[in-house]
Chain A
Amino acid sequence: MRFFDSRLKRRDWLRLSAAGVLSGVSVPWFESLADAAIKRPRGKSCILLWMDGGPSQQHTFDPKPNGEFKSTSTSVPGIQIVEQLPQLAQCMEEMVIVRSMTTEINGHYDAKYYLHTGHKRITAFEHPAIGCIASSEIGLPNDDMPAFVTIDAGYDRPDGGRLYRSVPAYLGFRHAPLAVNDPHQGLENLAPTGNDIDARLQLLSGSEQRFAQRYALPAVKAKQAAFNSAVRLMRSRRSRAFHLDEEPESIREMYGEHKFGQSCLLARRLVEAGVSFVEVVHRGWDDHSGAARPVAARAPWMDAGMAALIQDLKLRGRLDDTLIVWMGEFGRTPGDGNGHFCQAWSSVWAGGGLQTGQVIGKTSEQGEKPGTEIVDRPVSTPDFVATLCLALGIDIHQEFLAPGSRPVPLVEKTARPIEEMLG
């Protein structure tokens, strides 16, 4: 490989191959278009359903023969999940269960950070969250809609550690998420007060112009850019995606009355309106006094919300373009689910053009406590993030410059993406 390294820099190599020179295919206008705005990959979007606190895998998608919950067969022969999720069981052909997540960290906040960024928390600087990466890599620049929105779907119990907030870090502030605090309220303060908005905006830009010219600093520009995008959103017809009340009653019912289901519905509307990444956060899965009863109580609305999201996207012909991921920061101890457990837990993927209707990895069936070990295809945090990026069409072999001109890879170089599930 020395020749590769010394004579032809990697970047040049990529440039040549991108220009169609090395691939041997000559597309006459390719070169010039490569410089135009179309370098971005296909417009896929992602809805991340984040069960904050760590949901129990044995009470959801990895039941065991003598476990607290009975299992039920799904629409895919041979795959079983708990009987408490009958609607999702009937969507199995659109889902992939990854039962072999093994993610090293058992503390809430550090685990949330690790699973959101693909990097362990360090003191020198912060890493960008996956939603911000998606905003920077697949979001349309200067679009009416924000590329990354988070929705707060409420909580069952207030514990579960400090809430992780997505940070764009060195990707730039324009990739920070727009937060929706309540799916029923949509985006608050979106409608301008009074009917003299144009005059007021003109006055503002007039008075700001001189300041911006004199102090042409990144912070000033960032503030102006944020303000402009807010105004653009206020004026855009697409901002109506934030209003759930425009949705027919039957559809709203289908997703369930719970805030989680309504958040899933809002996520679908936002993705349809051009948002690239939506993160729905439901807090309170940190069940330290037994997972069975609390999960049984949550199961009906979680089942309804997520299954409705899958079916609705399918009906609209959008499921192939929308990746859904259900997960928390770790799983829970096999058996009663009392403690945190990062050694062997499950995440669930749906749609996104993946090879669905399968299970990746396997946890142990034998021993005193079945499910404490992984017996097939362990999936590390970098493996997980790399797969998520590839499923969205993001090039994982990229490097960013962190503060101090420190090169940081998009995902750790050790990452082994789950090829078996990428379409």
Chain B
Amino acid sequence: MRQIHFFYRCALVTGLLLSMPLVRTGQGEERKSNERLAAEKAVQQIEEVGGAVRYLTAGAEELEVDFQFAGEQLGDVQLKYLEALDNVVTLRLKRTAITDKAMMQVGKICTLRRLYLEETAISDRGLQQLLSLQQLEFLNVYGTAVTDKGIEQLASLPRLTDLCVGKTPVTEAGVHALLKAAPQLSVFPDRVEDRRRAEVFLQAARKLLTDAEQQLTEAEQNFKELAPQKDELKKAADEADKLAEEKKRQTDELGKQREEADKLVEERQRQAEEASQLARDKPDDEQLKLVAGEKQKVLVEARVRANEAKTAYDESRQQADAARLKSEMAKNLSARAANATEVHEQAKKVFDGARLRLKHAKRDLPPAQ
């Protein structure tokens, strides 16, 4: 915290000290003031011919001078306004009426990092004047008369990383020669890269078309075979569903019967055990023995009935499960039939798209050399 205070205090004091000379009048101050006036005037003049001056970022001193909408209003003469501005790092001269002569002036702006000359009357002669721009990183000569000979010289610009030569007479061989001399450079269009890209695209487009075709065939089959039977399939599915429901109901009923029979067996068993216990307690009582034998018989009967109920229930459940499975399949088929038209429509769209894609891919592929 203390350090921050100290920093701000120092900064403020330094600031005040620096601003003092601005207040005092003196010879140096007069010179500065003249410079300021000149710069102000330059900005005004630039704006008058349809240009704009901006800071590169908020708070930075680096400037961008933008003439891209000045058009015919900007000729070679007006570029001298730039002399009064320091720290111009970007200059946009797109579609202005400048010629090679203007490049003398541009070549003096040694702070320049980005230069836009697209769609102007610049030629190789103009480029020669730019070799003094040691800071230049980006040069755009799209749509100019620049040739292989012109760009050849650019290899001596140490910081140049991006060069746009689209819509110019520059050839692939010319670019190749330049790249050999300046390997740090990226040139656009890069025809080797474009061809590689186009080949990858073509391959992908072919594969996607095959996939789309396969899906379309499937959709078409469904559409042809299932769609017309849509209503019958729906009916069949509904019937199968009803049957399955009925079977399920029956099974539930049998299940209940089975449970009851089981309960009865338990009851009878309890009674039989009680009777036999009684008979054992009084071994002399013949009556009790008889009753116990009777109860045992009844229990055996109940067991037989319970077994029958179980068999009936198991059978019914198997049938119900089979009916449910059949119903699910019927439902599935019916849904496929119902969606067949829409899926077919979508598959057609995907296929059409894939065909169009392949057409584009074939068109994009430049003829091999």
A-side interface residues toward B, CB under 8 Å? Answer: 1, 3-4, 8, 16-18, 20-33, 36-43, 72, 75, 83-84, 86-87, 89-90, 140, 143-144, 237-238, 253-254, 256-257, 273-274, 293-294, 296-301, 303-304, 314-317, 320, 393, 395
What band does the interface of chain B fall in when counting residues whose beta carbon is under 8 Å from A? 35 or more
Cβ contact within 8 Å between B4 and A42: no
Which of B8-16, B174-182, B330-338 lines the interface with chain A?
A: B8-16
Which of B39-47, B124-132, B146-154 lines the interface with chain A?
A: B39-47
Cβ contact within 8 Å between A90 and B64: no
CB-based nearest A residue for B53? A38
Alpha-carbon separation in the docked complex, A216 to B118 (Å):
45
B36 to chain A, nearest CB (A): 3
Any A CB within 8 A of the CB of B192:
no
Option from A27, A42, A274, A395 in Cβ contact (under 8 Å) with B69: A274
Any A CB within 8 A of the CB of B101:
no
B43 to chain A, nearest CB (A): 6
Count, A-B residue pairs, CB within 8 A: 161
Going nearest first, the 5 A-B pairs with the smallest beta carbon separation are A29-B36, A86-B204, A317-B140, A317-B164, A300-B353
Cβ contact within 8 Å between B350 and A296: yes
Residues A38 and B58 in contact in the complex (CB < 8 Å), given A90-B200, A300-B353: no
Q: Which residues of A contact B43 (CB under 8 A)?
A: 33, 36-38
C-beta contact mask, B347-369 vs A, less than 8 Å → 1, else 0?
A: 10110011011001001100000
CB-based nearest B residue for A87? B201
Alpha-carbon separation in the docked complex, A317 to B32 (Å):
37
B53 to chain A, nearest CB (A): 5
Cβ contact within 8 Å between A42 and B61: no
Q: Which residues of A contact B54 (CB under 8 A)?
A: 38, 40-43
Q: Which residues of A contact B39 (CB under 8 A)?
A: 29, 32-33
Cβ contact within 8 Å between B346 and A293: yes
Q: Which residues of B contact A33 (CB under 8 A)?
A: 39-40, 43, 53
A-B residue pairs in contact (CB < 8 Å), sample of 16: A1-B1, A20-B61, A36-B40, A37-B43, A38-B53, A43-B54, A86-B201, A86-B208, A144-B69, A253-B363, A254-B364, A257-B356, A297-B350, A301-B356, A316-B166, A320-B138
Residues A72 and B35 in contact in the complex (CB < 8 Å), given A314-B188, A315-B142, A317-B188: no
Cβ contact within 8 Å between A8 and B353: no
Q: Name the interface residues of B1-33: CB closer than 8 Å to any CB of A.
A: 1, 4-5, 8-9, 11-12, 14-16, 18-19, 22, 32-33
Q: Which residues of B contact A237 (CB under 8 A)?
A: 71
Cβ contact within 8 Å between B15 and A43: no
C-beta contact mask, B116-148 vs A, less than 8 Å → 1, else 0?
A: 101000000000000000000010101000000
A140 to chain B, nearest CB (A): 6
Residues A299 and B55 in contact in the complex (CB < 8 Å), given A3-B5, A36-B43, A317-B116: no
Cβ contact within 8 Å between A28 and B32: yes
Q: Which residues of A contact B37 (CB under 8 A)?
A: 29
Alpha-carbon separation in the docked complex, A274 to B94 (Å):
12
Q: Which residues of B contact A144 (CB under 8 A)?
A: 69
